[in-house]
Amino acid sequence: MLLQPEAFSELTMGNTALVRAMLEAGVGVVTSYPGSPTPEIAEAIRAIPAERRPFYFEFSTNEKVATEVAFGAAVNGHLAVVFFKSVGLNVAADSFVQLPLMKIGGGLVVVLGDDPGANSSQNEQDNRHYARLAYCPLFEPASAAEAYTMFKQAAVLARELESVVILRLTTHVCHYKEQIDFAAWPVLELDRRPRFDPEASNYIPIAASVFPLKQRALERLQTLERRLGQLGFDRLLDHGNRDRGIIVAGLPFASVMDVLETLPGGTARPDILKLGAIFPFDRAAVAAFLRSHREVKVIEELDPILEGDIKALAWDEGISCRLVGRQSLGEAMGECTPDKAAAVLHAAWPELFPAPSLAAVLSEGRALPPRPAQLCPGCGHRSAFFAIKQALRADDISVADIGCHTLGYLPPYRMGQVLLSMGHSTSTAAGLALFNDSRRVICFMGDSTFFHAGLPGIANAVYNRHRLLLVVLENGTTAMTGHQDHPGTGRNFNGDTERLTVKAALAGLGVANLREIDAYKQAELTVMVRMALDEPGFKVIIARHPCMLKFTREARRKPGWALRHVMIDQAACNQAHICVESFACPSFQRAADGQVTVSPDLCIGDGSCRQTCPASAIVAEAGK
């Protein structure tokens, strides 16, 4: 449907709607590094046959590289897009903060997937700060339909201003589904002529040219602010209530609207000014709203950015409206769901908004039991952690990294005692190893992270002769975000390519103490780790096993494939419960009387568990 040239209507999530918007806007180049909540954008692109895809797309090795590729395409005259998750902007920041200083002829749109509530991130940073830091325009849709229309307008502005524009989505807007009316798409041949002109602008931001470039960035913001009223990003919902008003943006707008629907008939609903342009915002429209209301509540997720800017505006303009800002630390944390919006409004105006009932929040008062994240059945990381734990002393230090293996921090493995960001583990472990003659240091990294951000820390460890052990857990994919390829897989988004092996990269960096093993060979891995930890200098073990979730999904598509299971020989089982308490595959289930069984719905029959049982009671299912 995405390629349909005629106008049509469809129930679509925000991420998918963005791809249709890219087609209609005439985007020429799209780049990304996978990270939730944005991977479905790439999946929607993948659904378009390569021969009919009118733009170039790639997964780059990290967000900084993706940003630079998109920038290069944009200064060459092609409308470009780069998208990634919230913390991906940290990786891209060194180059990103330069973009608003540049003249970008083709225009560049940065699509951010911010994550209030830290649904799939190590923090819930508010990337609106980056817009202010870099003097970059930022727009924020409140729904899937707005993501579609706002992207197209952002693309037009990026071209007209010859600049970069941020489209900031949050997790629920990315995954928000609604019926969207898509416009017709005249399929035109894109102008692919290279148009980079180094004489048209200064592309070298050295000290002598910083001030003219910064002035241009600031002037662009002024130009944009004067045009905001014409763009239709903002909405005024006039309920005729001049006592109370609400200024809100993004997903909180939808939550506030849900709360208003619960008010009884005849209640004086507050007027609402919903902002879509966040930086800069329409100061004239906000000032007029403040002047026409006695009291205004500002509702936003995470940091009080709009609140501070609006209070400053009110002060500068001498507006006497009472502004109700953040009233508790709770407002600064988590997503602004309807329940939270109800609590926030009750705290501001208790006589108008009743306190949310706990029963409504917890579904008849019954809280759901916790459901911690866990490694999949058959995961090689589980086998590796089980084996490595046997080699560690109680005072050894272990450093985690970003990926599926981060879950090794949870019981029973307790592997990884510190975590910062992708690729940090080797460098942090190096610091922990300094002046440390008694406690050994081990760190972990996945193969995708290895290529993303791991290489500099490894080069540093070799160069400075740090004493630590790095275990590269290689599963042949970018597993946590949806099995995207990386340079070590031999494939990219568009087909087969040269494979860059982890082993070759390590050897090229000068790693002399290097071992390899299948992560399922637990006894051998235990011995290998024990030996490596006591050796001097920097050591690396590559513990590899395919991601079994990906492996089994692909195997199911092959003819003749049959699902296998293991089972418990109850006569042999001595109920030592190593399988449940130490190996902890979710396939094992323990009854109240201590009897262990295997869930056929979870077990994939990989057999990695069999070597963990001291009684050899885990056996292949009969006939399998």
Among 184, 199, 231, the domain boundary falls at 231
- Answer whether 569's CB lies under 8 Å from 619's CB: yes
- Residue 190: predicted pLDDT: 79
CATH code for position 154 = 3.40.50.970
- Residue 513: predicted pLDDT: 97
Residues 249, 100 within the same domain: no
- Low-confidence stretches of the chain (pLDDT < 70) are 357-368, 623-624
* Domain range enclosing 596: 562-620
The Cα 260–Cα 269 span in angstroms is 7
Rounded to a whole number of angstroms, the distance between the first and last alpha carbons of the chain is 43
Residues 522, 384 within the same domain: yes
Asked, for residue 369, whether it belongs to a domain, the answer is: no
* Count: domains in the chain: 4
Asked, for residue 470, whether it belongs to a domain, the answer is: yes
The 8 Å CB, 24+ separation contacts for 308-314 are 309/281, 310/247, 310/286, 313/283, 313/286, 313/287, 314/287, 314/290
The string of pLDDT tens digits covering residues 580-607 is 999 999 999 999 999 999 999 999 999 9
CA distances from 187 to 2, 23, 24, 123 (A): 12, 9, 8, 41
Asked, for residue 176, whether it belongs to a domain, the answer is: yes
Residues 523, 582 within the same domain: no
Residues 476, 582 within the same domain: no
Two tokens, residue 402: 């970003």
State pTM to two decimals. 0.89
Asked, for residue 219, whether it belongs to a domain, the answer is: yes
Amino acid at position 179, single letter? Q
Residues 319, 173 within the same domain: no
CATH code for position 610 = 3.30.70.20
Residues 443, 475 within the same domain: yes
Residues 349, 400 within the same domain: no
Label the pairing between strands 596-598 and 588-590.
Answer: antiparallel
The Cα 413–Cα 382 span in angstroms is 8
Q: Which residues pair with 85 in a beta bridge?
A: 113
- Residue 327: predicted pLDDT: 82
Among 535, 553, 571, the domain boundary falls at 553
Asked, for residue 367, whether it belongs to a domain, the answer is: no
The Cα 230–Cα 224 span in angstroms is 10
Among 526, 553, 580, the domain boundary falls at 553
